[in-house]
């Protein structure tokens, strides 16, 4: 995550806009989130210099979004996080298969991070 609120934050992320627009010549930037809090949204839009924010129901400028009553302020109840460690890649792969085949994931969304 490019936000300083993330545990994965790296100081070089502060230069991401410069790299994307300068070195790569990007004309448009897109940042996606499903659960970001207001401070994280503000951080990401500032780092990437994004002026327009689109949510599934309408578009905003940052100030409007931060004042929007419907914008979540805390983590949602339907989200959970679990951390597992495995001794082998085979065990890790099997657990990933088990997760993806589970009835809960088959009927809902899941994000799996693998290191």
pLDDT of residue 74: 47
pLDDT of residue 91: 92
pLDDT of residue 104: 79
pLDDT above 70 (res 22): yes
To which residue do tokens 């990437």 refer? 48
CA distances from 38 to 41, 56, 66, 112, 115 (A): 5, 16, 6, 24, 28
Encode pLDDT of 28-87 as tens digits: 888 877 777 778 888 888 888 888 777 666 667 777 767 776 655 545 566 666 778 889
Which strand (E) or helix (H) includes residue 55? strand 52-55
């Amino acid at each position: 995550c490019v936000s300083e609120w993330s545990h994965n934050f790296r100081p070089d992320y502060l230069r991401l806009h410069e790299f994307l627009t300068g070195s790569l010549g990007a004309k448009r930037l897109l940042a996606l989130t499903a659960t970001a809090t207001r401070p994280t949204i503000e951080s990401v839009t500032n780092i990437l210099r994004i002026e327009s924010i689109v949510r599934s129901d309408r578009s905003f400028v940052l100030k409007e979004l931060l004042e929007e009553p419907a914008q979540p302020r805390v983590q949602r109840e339907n989200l959970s996080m679990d951390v597992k460690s495995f001794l082998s890649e085979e065990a890790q792969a099997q657990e990933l298969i088990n997760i993806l085949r589970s009835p809960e994931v088959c009927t809902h969304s899941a994000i799996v991070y693998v290191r």
